[in-house]
Structure formats: C-alpha cells, structure tokens
Amino acid sequence: MFAIAKTEAARGIWSASPHLPEAPARGMVVVDVMAAGICGTDYHIYSWDAWSAGRVPTPMVIGHEFVGRIAAVGEGVTGFRIGERVSAECHIACGECRFCRTGNSHICERTSIIGVDRPGAFAEQVTVPASNLWHVPDAIPDKHAAVFDPVGNAMHMVSTARVTAKNVLVVGGGPIGLFAAAIAKSHGARTVTLQEPNQARAAIAASLDLDLVLNPRDPGAKEALLSLTNGEGPDVILEVSGNAAAINAALDIAAPGATVALLGIPANPVEIDLGAKVVMKGISLLGVTGRRMYETWYQVEAFMLKNPDLMDKVITHVLPASDFHHGFELMDEGACGKIVLDFQAIGQRLSA
Ligand SMILES: [Zn+2]
Ligand SMILES: [Zn+2]
C-alpha cells in the first residue's frame, strides 16, 4: 500500500510501500484512511530534531490525525462495524495504571502514540484499538473530521484554563493557536488576542473575528494589549509557541493571578525568573498535553458541528496525499494554517 514514512534517520520524509495490515487482532480495528492532517509532531519528525531522533524508530509510517472507514474488526470488538466512519484518539494509553483508572489517561506514562511509536495513519490503512475509535457524525465533513486531534489539543487547553469572561491572549498562530483562539471566543471569553509574527498566519487569525491580532515585533504591541485589557494585561494566556522569549514576555504582561497554560514544547530548557514572574504575581502555570479521554472529544464534536466556517478558515490546504512533499514545504515556510492530506484518490487509483 501507499504510505508516507520516515525511512531514514535524517531530515526529510518519503513515500513507502509497506504491506497492508494483517487481519486485526482481538480488540483491534483496521481503518481505510480517507483524510489525515499534518501535525506539528509530523513536522518535528520530518525535521528530525533532537526529540524525534531520540524517540522515533525507523522505518516508521507517520501521521496520527485522521478520518476513515472501518475495513475490518477483530474478535471481541463491539459497537463498531465495517463501513462506519471514524476518527481515533492517537494516544493509546495502558488502561491499567492509576492515572488511566482515575480518568487521566492523557498523562499515562505507558502511552504509545500512533505514527510515533507504532505505524501511523499516513497510509491507505491503519490499525488501532477499537477503544480509541470515535464515530464521526455525518454532518462533519472529512476535512474537518481529519483534525479532531489538534482541535482536541486546543479544546483541552481552553477548557482547562477556564476562559469565560476573561481577557485571553493566545501566544502563537499555528493551527492549534488559531483553533484555540476560535474556541476561546466560543467559550465566552471577554476578549481574545492572538500574537503571531508570521504575516500569513496573522492574516488567518485576522479572519477569525478576534478582538486583536498582534505582531510581537511591533513596538506598539504591548500598549495595544494593555489598552484592550483595561491596563491590567490578560487573565488567561494560552502558550502554543514554545518560544522562550515569547513565554517570558507573556509572563511579564500577564495580569496578577493570571492562568498561563503551556502547550508549546520548547526546543531547550527555558529560563524563567519564577520569583518575580510567577510567585509574586500569583500566577497559575498549567501544563497541557493530549486530550481528555473522551470528554474533549465530545466538546470538539460539538464545536465542529456548530462552527464549520471557523474550521474552514483554519484549514487552508487540502492536498492529494501524493503531494505530501508540498505540504511539508508549506510548513517550512509557515505559509499555511492546517494542511489536510486526501488519501481517497490513492485508494481509488489502486483499486481501479
Ligand atoms: Zn496531531
Ligand atoms: Zn496508563
């Protein structure tokens, strides 16, 4: 079958022809992939940074955010049938540890991730546990359903940070930041500001009807944010950039008592004056990872059903899966919002 894989331990990504998955084992399901989103995680693996070089074995079919139709079900699977349209939580938690058993499987230490630790979804077929599947309502189109995972990251962050009636600053305008800004608005934030130096991404943010879109390099940026927030600074900061200077600047401008949710992963350890910037200001720092299983999925489904226009604005490209190189080049340039790869043409070509 056609697949997109890390076949060499070096920068780049290549097409590959692994065997079709075997008949699914007990509790497992094989899904025909229809569409899949390119994630920041895939981009890390493409770039072969220190994190991915230390974590991902090669060869590895990558990709973890997808929608497809069930092609085969293993023994013991209930509630899912061949032909049904599904997405899937890409974090396969152990289900047995204290965290899993107390409703916190997003922080399970034995998590295995599709497309990172086991064969991924940038392929004609992917095998996942039935327990990770999510039925997709007919009203949600494929290109939206392909990105439950990153919208889920954004939803988890916004829900955890409790934005209702607050002045919110989103730091970073990649797809998760754009989704987070749109979700914060829909959750009743008083104001939503998005900060992003890349002009293509700032232009997408400007289309989301936010209160303010800032270029942090603009000398008037800080004044504009203070004037929007009654001189106090933002009450909630949603940090998705992972940029050390941006994190420090965000802590500087945060209002006393602010909640700062951190989702962006810095490339290196970050130095912060905790005494002045966190302790003395009474700041709450929140680390946010993955999605709550499966509360976040219900929330994302509702958001997608009610806001198809916002989804369309953040998803800027749908490319045939065979054009994946172009997708990664667009991410190199930062000239895009979310990119979705369409795998259906490939399936049709092979079966024709
Ligand atoms: Zn992802
Ligand atoms: Zn666990």
Domain boundaries, given as residue ranges, for the chain: 3-136+307-351, 153-287
Q: What is the pLDDT of residue 352?
A: 40
Asked if the 153-287 domain carries CATH number 3.40.50.720, the reply is: yes
pLDDT per position as a tens digit, 165-209: 999 999 999 999 999 999 999 999 999 999 999 999 999 999 999
Centre of ligand 1 from the C-alpha of residue 244, in Å: 22
Ligand number nearest to the C-alpha of 89 = 1
Residues in Cβ contact with 226 at an 8 Å cutoff, skipping those fewer than 6 apart: 232, 233, 253
Catalytic residue among 44, 64, 156, 317: 44
Asked if the 3-136+307-351 domain carries CATH number 3.90.180.10, the reply is: yes
Q: Which residue has the higher pLDDT, 320 or 268?
A: 320
Confidence of residue 220 (pLDDT cuts 50, 70, 90): very high
Q: What is the pLDDT of residue 348?
A: 59
Task: Give the separation between CA 338 and CA 316, rounded to whole angstroms.
Answer: 6
Catalytic residue among 7, 19, 41, 135: 41
Enumerate the β-bridge partners of residue 197: none
* Ion ligand 1: residue ranges with CB closer than 5 A: 39, 65, 149-150
Q: Phi, psi (5° rounding) for residue 312?
A: -65, -35
Centre of ligand 1 from the C-alpha of residue 101, in Å: 24
Q: Which amino acid is at 176?
A: I
Question: Active site includes 135?
Answer: no
Centre of ligand 1 from the C-alpha of residue 245, in Å: 24
Centre of ligand 2 from the C-alpha of residue 294, in Å: 15
Average pLDDT over every residue of 305-314:
98
Q: What is the pLDDT of residue 347?
A: 59
pLDDT at 102 over 90: yes
Centre of ligand 2 from the C-alpha of residue 244, in Å: 31
Question: Active site includes 317?
Answer: no
Ligand number nearest to the C-alpha of 149 = 1
Average pLDDT over every residue of 209-230:
97
Ligand number nearest to the C-alpha of 122 = 1
Structural contact between residues 303 and 183, judged by C-beta atoms closer than 8 angstroms: yes
Confidence of residue 47 (pLDDT cuts 50, 70, 90): very high
Mean pLDDT, all residues of the chain? 96
pLDDT per position as a tens digit, 124-172: 999 999 999 999 999 999 999 999 999 999 999 999 999 999 999 999 9
Helix then strand then coil, in percent of the chain rounded to 5, is 35, 25, 40
Q: What is the pLDDT of residue 205?
A: 98
Centre of ligand 1 from the C-alpha of residue 221, in Å: 30
